[in-house]
Amino acid sequence: MLILVVNAGSSSLKYQLINMDDESVLAKGNCDRIGIDGHISHKTADGRAFDADCTFPTHTEAFEKLVEVLTTGDHAVIKSMDEISAVGHRIVQGAEIFDRPCLVTPEVIDQIDGLAELAPVHNHAHALALRACTAVIPATTPQVVVFDTAFHQTMPPKAYMFGLPYEDYEKYHVRKYGFHGTSHRFVSSALAEAMGKNIEDLKIVSCHLGNGSSITAVNGGKCVDTSMGFTPLDGVLMGTRCGAVDPSAVTFVASKHGFTPDEMSQYMNKKSGFLGVSGVSSDNRDIQEAAKQGNKRAQLASEMLAYEIQKYIGSYTAAMNGVDAVLFTGGIGENSAEIRELVCSGMSWFGIEIDNEINNATRGKLQKISTPDSKVEVWIVPTNEELLIARDTLELISK
């Protein structure tokens, strides 16, 4: 059974075609620069590649091209879209409406579009892609939406409310939503399996560290708190995002620069984080390289990220009244031995001890990196959000 997984942004449409019989990826690619000019890059599992400039005025033309490359030419992997059993879409913001995946209907697309105010960069683009997909694929092919926020809907009000007047929660839905939920759900259950335990019996701190980073407390398989908030700007220092700062610093800086709210948002989302602190780069590899060469601001950026993660591990251990395992995932979490070491050093009181040799030798694969004596197990768990979207899609259409 084949499932097409789609991750649409405002100017891009990433896709993977997954064979659910063995969960292998048959082809993947990206329709990029939608609304600008257009480019598609496509790769099949057996190494056939296709790259071309195209015209993508809207998501519809991008979808049409995607169908064309999957079904025709040297790089085709299927004969017709009828071979695809369902399409699963990643959606960033489901707010309080969607606490689980659901089948796509015109009403669901309108609801997703209606949440655009809460996720301006993403939700409207998702709605455009959903409408384009509906117009292009066979009418009999079911579509499913899987939300980044859904896993975090189990947080209690004491964790998700802000100390702002309650009326603004009721009127404007201002609260913590959390993001990366599909990843945290995937890796925490993969970890339970690797540990040979029931997830219901585990207290896990899940650290998803990439260009965007979030830390989640998973107690018994359910999210009880998470570091991202109303938007994916809150929490720890990221590639270009500042993470949590004193709100008064925000209004102060905005008034000093004469920024509008949108300009201040750009400053915090695009010019801050690793990039803003180091002045070197938003990319962790560049930061680690510069830090090794003695760049003080790059060293500071690394130390800030690690220190913030340590504090989240501490506070989420308190929130769950214990912790059995800490896991690292995402581009940085899976690959950066330096960041993992910085986080885990100095946490022996918490029962965290890692084996530096194993830590240094491991990249991008499932691996326990804590010592046999470590009270808390520490693991690297590669994430795979597309696969979980495909599994959710399959589960829903099988019902």
Supply the minimum distance, in Å, between the C-beta of residue 244 and ligand ADP. 18
Supply the minimum distance, in Å, between the C-beta of residue 310 and ligand ADP. 19
Catalytic residue among 21, 32, 37, 148: 148
Nearer to ligand ADP, 29 or 330 (CB): 330
Nearer to ligand ADP, 102 or 268 (CB): 268
Cβ-proximal residue to ligand ADP, closest one: 331
Nearer to ligand ADP, 335 or 359 (CB): 335
In single-letter form, the type of residue at position 377 comes to: E
Nearer to ligand ADP, 123 or 284 (CB): 284
Nearer to ligand ADP, 54 or 390 (CB): 390
Supply the minimum distance, in Å, between the C-beta of residue 274 and ligand ADP. 7
Supply the minimum distance, in Å, between the C-beta of residue 285 and ligand ADP. 4
148 assigned to active site: yes
Nearer to ligand ADP, 310 or 384 (CB): 384
Supply the minimum distance, in Å, between the C-beta of residue 302 and ligand ADP. 11
**Cα angle, residue 305 at apex, residues 300 and 306 outer, rounded to 5°:** 95
Give residues in contact with ligand ADP (CB under 6 A). 210-212, 239, 283-285, 330-332, 335-336
Supply the minimum distance, in Å, between the C-beta of residue 337 and ligand ADP. 8
Catalytically active residues are: 148
